[in-house]
Amino acid sequence: MAEIIITKENFDEEVRNYNGIVLLDLWAGWCGPCMMLSPAVSEIAEEYDGKIKVGKINVDEQPELAAAFRCESIPLLVVVKNGAIHNMSVGYREKTDIIKMLDL
């Protein structure tokens, strides 16, 4: 399953009320480290399809969501379990480190 584009309109349905694990990638098109991280996030979305949900939040298009996560630097990865923040990480991470954050 490909990543889901998360907006303020679908946030409650896709993240807050989801009973399971959601990996959120807060990013922007002008951010070099975000572009470096994107392939790993896509691979995780495919490899863990059915086990986790992967969402992308463009901070330029969704400033309210960025503010809600107190996002001051990107990329910001957020792991949400059953509607609550479980883990957060700022900056580029290797795929193996991202998988460890999921705590599966």
List active site positions: 31, 34
Strands in the chain per DSSP E: 4-5, 21-27, 52-58, 76-81, 84-90
Tokens representing residue 3 in the block? 């990543």
* Residues facing 52 on adjacent strands: 21, 49
Three-state secondary-structure class, residue 52: strand
Number of residues assigned to the chain: 104
